[in-house]
Amino acid sequence: MITLTTYEWVPDFAAPLMRAFRVRWALEEAGLPYKVRTVALGPEQRSPEHLARQPFGQAPAIEEDGLVLFESGAIALYVAEKTEKLLPRDRIERERATAWVFAALNSVETWIQQLASLDFFHAKEEWTKEFRPGIEKMVHDRLELLEKALGEKDYLEGTFTVGDLMMADVLRFLDHTTIVEAYPRLNAYKQRCHARPAFQRAMQAQTEGFKKAA
């Protein structure tokens, strides 16, 4: 059974956005059982035990059958390989789905994360007023191109894959804004992904876990 390591507690605004959620969602989509280990923010993050799981003292990490794996994208792909529900067996479809995972993390999340960091951690600082418009412009550019790639399809490659899971989760980092709503097809895609029962189960598990630790 997979053991997922995540944080014991995080502030309320961060609880739904933790990257361990991507792993929970993938596990729920795959229908795989898992158990959870928690690590406390602070010194425990830099303990030898945790650094052996996650070299940067972050979360998530997983362990299964001697494998210790970190980084949410790598873990999501590992889970996806266990089921055709997330990663098709057809060679071309499989590689396309994998490409969308990397696109979500590199082409899209890079800019969205910058904007979210400004808004959550530096909103009251003067330099943010000058810096933020340029970052928001790049976010709009990414989303415009993403919506074009989506076209009229329900999902990026027609059927739901791990690429959609990762992309839809990245888009959640804009939930404190109305930016995604400016792109109707993309917004509908996001809502479609988030309406999946596996998403709902994963979110409930994540938020309840943090509430118990609070």
Tell me: do 202 and 165 sit in the same domain.
no
Q: Give the CATH number, domain containing residue 8.
A: 3.40.30.10
Same domain as 144, residue 112: yes
Which residues, in sequence order, are CB contacts of 138 under 8 Å at separation 6+?
Answer: 111
* 47 and 124 within one domain: no
DSSP-assigned letters across all residues of 14-75: TGGG-THHHHHHHHHHHT--EEEEEE-SSGGGGSHHHHHH-TTS-S-EEEETTEEEESHHHH
Which has the closest alpha carbon to 38: 22, 54, 17? 54
Shared domain for 81 and 109, answered yes or no, is: no
CB atoms within 10 A of CB 156: 23
Are 136 and 115 in contact by the 8 Å Cβ rule? The answer is yes
Q: Can you tell me the distance from the alpha carbon of 119 to that of 114, in angstroms, rounded to the nearest whole number?
A: 9
Range of the domain at 153: 91-196
Are 160 and 202 in the same domain? no
CA-based torsion, 174, 175, 176, 182: positive or negative? positive
Where does the pLDDT of residue 202 fall: very low under 50, low under 70, confident under 90, or very high at 90 and above?
A: very high
Rounded Cα gap, residues 41 and 146, in angstroms: 35
For residues 157-175, average pLDDT:
98
Residue-wise pLDDT tens digits, 81-117: 999 999 999 999 999 999 999 999 999 999 999 999 9
Domain containing 157 — which CATH number?
1.20.1050.10
Q: What is the mean pLDDT of residues 136-161?
A: 98
Q: Mean pLDDT for the chain?
A: 95
Instruction: Note whether 14 and 73 are same-domain residues.
Output: yes
214 has a pLDDT exceeding 60: no
Integer Cα distance of 160 and 83 in angstroms: 12
Count of domains in the chain? 2
- Whether residue 134 is found in the same domain as residue 112: yes
pLDDT digits (tens, 9 = 90+) for 37-88: 999 999 999 999 999 999 999 999 999 999 999 999 999 999 999 999 999 9
pLDDT over 90, % of the chain? 92
Q: Are residues 66 and 113 in the same domain?
A: no
73 and 117 belong to one structural domain = no
Q: Are residues 100 and 180 in the same domain?
A: yes
